[in-house]
Amino acid sequence: QLSYRLGRVASHVPEGAIVADIGSDHAYLPCYLVAEGLAERAIAGEVVKGPFESAKKQVRQEGLEDRITVRLASGLAAIEPVDGVTAITIAGMGGPLIASILEQDKARLEGVQRLILQPNVHAKAIREWAAANGWHIVNEEILEENSKIYEIIVLEPAGKAVEFEEKELLFGPVLMAQRSDVFHTKWQREMSQWQKIVASMDANAEAADIGEKKQELAQKIKLVEEVLNGEI
Ligand code: SAM
C-alpha cells in the first residue's frame, strides 16, 4: 500500500519516534509507521476537509485510533506541546510550501529532533530555510518513481548558524557528493528545460529584460554541466 517514495521517507524516521505527518492526506505514512512498530504514536495533520476525512477513515480501518490522532489544521498548528513530537514528516509538496509551513509556526518545532522533508520540486527552498534557522542536513536521498524524481532532505537541529555554498543549496550537499544516476537524470532534465527556455528567448530577442534572465539561465546551465562532468 505504501508507495516506494513514502517508504523511503519512512526509512529516515528514527525508531520509537513520536511523529507528526503534516499534509497527511490518507495518513498512509503514519499508519505504516505505527502499524509496523517503527513509531510509538503519531499525529496526522490535514488542512483540507476531504483528505482529513480520508485520514480519519484510514486510521479507523486499521484500528490505530488509540495511537494516531488526526487533526484538521494548517501546517504545524496540528502539533500541540503535550504531544511530545520528536520527528516531523512533510512529504509530497513543493519545497517553498514546505519551507513556509516550517517558517510559520517555529515555536512548535521546540523539542523536535528530526525533520524528514520530501519536496516534489524546488528543494533549494528547504535548504535555504535550514541554513537560516540553524538546522543541518544529516542525510539526503534522490529517487525515481513512475518517471518522477523526488528528493528527501533530513534535518536535525544544529544549535548554531549553518552555511551552505550556492551549489550545495541547489544540488544538495549529500546528493552532490553521491552524484547517483538519478541525480544525473534529474539535472539533465532540468538543464534541457532551461535550454529550451533560452532557445525561445533567442527567438524573442527584442523583448525587454530578457538579457538578465537569459544570463541567469546560462549560468545555471554552466553550473549543472560542470557538476555533471565532475569538474566541480
Ligand atoms: N503527504 C502525502 C504524500 O506524500 O503522499 C500527501 C501529499 S498531498 C500531494 C499534499 C497534502 O498536503 C494534501 O492533502 C493537502 O491538502 C495538504 N496540505 C497542503 N497544505 C497544507 C498545510 N498548510 N497544512 C496541512 N496540510 C496541507
pLDDT digits (tens, 9 = 90+) for 109-157: 999 999 999 999 999 999 999 999 999 999 999 999 999 999 999 999 9
Q: What is the mean pLDDT of residues 25-37?
A: 98
DSSP summary character for residue 43: E
Number of structural domains in the chain:
2
Same domain, 47 and 101: yes
Looking only at the bridges linking them, the beta strands covering 148-157 and 87-93 are unpaired
Q: What is the pLDDT of residue 202?
A: 81
- Does 175 fall in a domain? no
- Does residue 12 share a domain with residue 86? yes
Cell, residue 86: 520528536
Between the alpha carbon of residue 209 and those of residues 188, 193, 194, 195, 200, the distances in Å are 27, 20, 17, 18, 14
Residue 201 has pLDDT above 90, yes or no: no
Ligand 1 pocket, mutate which of 93, 97, 104, 116 (most atoms under 8 A from CB): 93
**Are residues 152 and 192 located together in one domain of the fold?**
no
Domain with residue 105: its CATH number is 3.40.50.150
Do residues 147 and 186 share a domain? no
Q: In terms of domains, do 46 and 129 share one?
A: yes
Are 37 and 92 contained in the same domain?
Answer: yes
**Does 147 share its domain with 198?**
no
Q: Does residue 69 register a pLDDT over 70?
A: yes
Q: What is the mean pLDDT of residues 4-17?
A: 98
Residues 135 and 191 in one domain: no
Phi, psi of 94 (to 5 degrees): -70, 150
Question: Is 47's C-beta closer than 6 angstroms to any atom of ligand 1?
Answer: yes
Statement to judge: residues 128 and 198 lie in one domain: no
Q: Are 158 and 135 in contact (CB under 8 A)?
A: yes
**Is residue 208 predicted with pLDDT exceeding 70?**
no
- What rounded mean pLDDT belongs to the chain? 95
Between 75 and 205, the more confident residue is 75
**Alpha carbon 230 to its chain's center:** 26
Q: Is any atom of ligand 1 closer than 6 Å to the C-beta of 9?
A: no
Q: Which domain holds residue 27?
A: 4-164
The residue-averaged pLDDT of 3-31 equals: 98
Interatomic CA distance for residues 114 and 92, integer angstroms: 18
49 pLDDT tier (thresholds 50, 70, 90): very high
Among 136, 164, 192, give the residue marking a domain's end.
164
The answer to whether residues 122 and 200 belong to one domain is: no
- Whether 143 and 204 map to the same domain: the answer is no
Residues 160 and 186 in one domain: no
pLDDT > 80? residue 207: no
pLDDT at 206 (0 to 100): 66
Confidence band (pLDDT; 50, 70, 90) for 209?
Answer: low
Task: Out of 6, 9, 46, give the residue to mutate to test ligand 1, the one with the largest number of ligand atoms within 8 Å of its CB.
Answer: 46
Question: Do the Cβ atoms of 12 and 139 come closer than 8 Å?
Answer: yes
